Amino acid sequence: MLHPFFGPERRRVILPEIQAYIAERIDATPVYGFAEMIDAGDARCGGERISGFMERYELGEWLLPLTASKGMRWRTAPVPGTQRGHVAFALSLGFGNGSPLPQPSGQWDIYVNDRLAVSVRVVNHSQVWEAGECKLAFAANRLEAAEPFGGLTLSSLIQNDAFATFGPAFLIVPSEWIEPGSPAEIRVEARSAVPSTRWLQLDVASALLEHADIYRLLDLLTQRHPRVGEYNVYFGDIHTHSGQVLDRCDNDGCGIGSREDNYRYALGPGGLDFYSLTDHEWQIGPAGIDEYFQLADTYNEDGRFVCLPAFEHTSLLYGHRNIYFRGPGGTVVNANRSWGGPTKDPKLSTTPAELWAALEATGVPFISVPHHPSAASHPFTLEYWSEHDRLVEVYSVWGSSEYYGDFPRGVSDRFRAMNVQDAIRRGLRFGLVASADGHDGHPGNAQSPLVKHHHQFHYCGSGRAAVFASELTREAIYDALYARRCYATTGAPILLDVRLNGAWMGQEVAPLSEGRRPMLTVQCVGSNGLDHIRIVKNGRIVYTQPCHGEWDCEVVWEDAAYDASRPNSYYVRVVQQDRESAWSSPIWLG
């Protein structure tokens, strides 16, 4: 990370030097993005007690609720003539929940001179959104989170809130959108299908480039994907449902919106690197399989947005599995042999062995991923397992499936002996991922209250999968998932690197020779202050490292009780102070 003392003779840089440095790093002319409010619309104006993430000299902030019927418009500083292809408007933004209870997601559409630039959503972490040549990079330089279901009071506007995030942002658009020498007009419109208290805030910050750490924005834009060893880290949501059934989009499906609506949200406001739509078999139908999978090919763009062909196998007798294919040519296998809806009739139910056989017959590589294994309404049997079950979903809108009583991450009624730790103690070799299981049409950002499945909401995020892959292609993402070179987060982009004597997470390693001991190394960079890191051996916690709110933490731990005569597994759980969490895939010895 860069500090502000990189000027001549190591003095603090001044504004012209900062502007020149920004222009060189991102090939865009920096311009102050707020000069004058034209029409605040339905935004609420701040009072004497203002919020913010840095020292400010001006009173002025506007908070736009997600359900505002009229957006806000403002002018930027004049844009100088430039030979560069883009302009970067510097803004001071904030995002928040508006309530101690989880709220529907929605989005904000941001226009520059009446041209749609990007669409964004509420985040509690740094994020970059892209749409064509336009980008919005937001650095979460200040994050506040209340205790679960408690409330924060941060300003005259922000009261009784679950979380709030503040930081600088660059809104980048092509220079041809702007008249040289004139200000631009920026407009923000809120979009939400149902009432929501979530908000976006714009602050007056005329000295933003000098008084804020804007260098994190440059890192976000020039180092889009964290690098760990020989791999990049990519984040995705590979479990969502649309409201479409067959060719009808009347929200009779398990989720909300058309299939294309879900792909578009994942690509845009969702801010995902990779994505899978996993509609249930009865939503697809035998005649619609090719058209359904074609959408994954249509939206897949290697290097930008990877889409894995997938569906959910919805067995009420054996449990739910998502099926992911490495490429085209897969098929959909119904849990009901008659191609009806979900059934508990043993005579009509497809068995796991029949599922795997039908998928193997396509010749297309695939993996199957069980989810919410201990949920009382939709449990998963651990009696049927094969090498195709490479992963298990440890977290989603159903909450945490790691262990019974995991609060506040765990929600819904649970059986006590069917969690991920129970599976590991039984010797089942699952890698760990998370995804939304979203039913509200907002991949990567699912919160279901007031939409569908009202019981599926919780304090943390909706879940994302992280993979270590050499490149952002369909084959590389699939191969990382198959290799279990992946981990789970509640939604925050926590960076987690866990090695066992040099082996990557997900690997199976031969027993160590006599006299050698397992050495686990953990490197973690949080999206907020870290609370603790725990090491779990054979499904039991064996070590806890307090992190005391530091954003970076390293652990080196030797297993002095190692027994080479039996198999051993090791994984790591990280918990931030805001309760956002991450779980590594296990590494097995023996």
The model's pLDDT over 508-522, given as tens digits with 9 standing for 90+, comes to: 999 999 889 999 999
Q: What is the per-residue pLDDT for 453?
A: 75
SS3 content of the chain, % helix, strand, coil (to 5): 15, 35, 50
Lowest mean pLDDT among 12-21, 358-367, 458-467, 569-578: 458-467
Q: Give the residue with greater pLDDT, 144 vs 452.
A: 144
The model's pLDDT over 228-283, given as tens digits with 9 standing for 90+, comes to: 999 999 999 999 999 999 888 887 888 999 999 999 999 999 999 999 999 999 99
pLDDT above 70 as % of the chain: 98
Q: Is the pLDDT of residue 53 over 90?
A: no
Q: Which fold has domain 227-452+468-487?
A: TIM Barrel (3.20.20)
Domain boundaries, the chain: 8-222, 227-452+468-487
The three-state secondary structure class of 49 is coil
Mean pLDDT for 138-158 is 93
What single DSSP character describes residue 317?
T
Q: What is the per-residue pLDDT for 16?
A: 95
Mean pLDDT for 116-136 is 97
Q: Which residue has the tokens 């160590």?
A: 512
Using pLDDT thresholds of 50, 70 and 90, give the confidence band for residue 50: confident
Q: How far apart are CA 327 and CA 297, in angstroms?
A: 9
What type of residue sits at position 57?
Y
Please choose, from the candidates 397, 394, 469, the residue with its C-alpha nearest in 3D space to the C-alpha of residue 438: 397
- 35 contact partners, CB below 8 Å, separation of at least 6: 74, 75, 76, 77, 183
Q: Is the pLDDT of residue 113 over 90?
A: yes
- 285 contact partners, CB below 8 Å, separation of at least 6: 246, 339
What type of residue sits at position 47?
G
Mean pLDDT for 546-575 is 97
What single DSSP character describes residue 121?
-
What single DSSP character describes residue 375?
B
Q: Give the residue with greater pLDDT, 431 vs 458.
A: 431
Lowest mean pLDDT among 172-176, 429-433, 457-461: 457-461
Q: How far apart are CA 265 and CA 304, in angstroms?
A: 14
Mean pLDDT for 445-451 is 78
Q: Is the pLDDT of residue 329 over 80?
A: yes
The model's pLDDT over 197-228, given as tens digits with 9 standing for 90+, comes to: 999 999 998 899 999 999 999 999 999 899 99
Q: What is the per-residue pLDDT for 407?
A: 67
Please choose, from the candidates 431, 428, 401, the residue with its C-alpha nearest in 3D space to the C-alpha of residue 417: 401
Element at 208 (helix H, strand E): helix 208-211
How would you classify the pairing of strands 61-65 and 44-45? antiparallel
Q: Whole-number mean pLDDT of the chain?
A: 94
Lowest mean pLDDT among 251-260, 404-413, 455-464: 404-413
Q: How far apart are CA 375 and CA 393, in angstroms?
A: 12
Q: Is the pLDDT of residue 319 over 90?
A: yes
Q: What is the per-residue pLDDT for 199?
A: 98
The model's pLDDT over 342-376, given as tens digits with 9 standing for 90+, comes to: 999 999 999 999 999 999 999 999 999 999 999 98
**End-to-end Cα distance, the chain:** 40
Mean pLDDT for 501-505 is 98
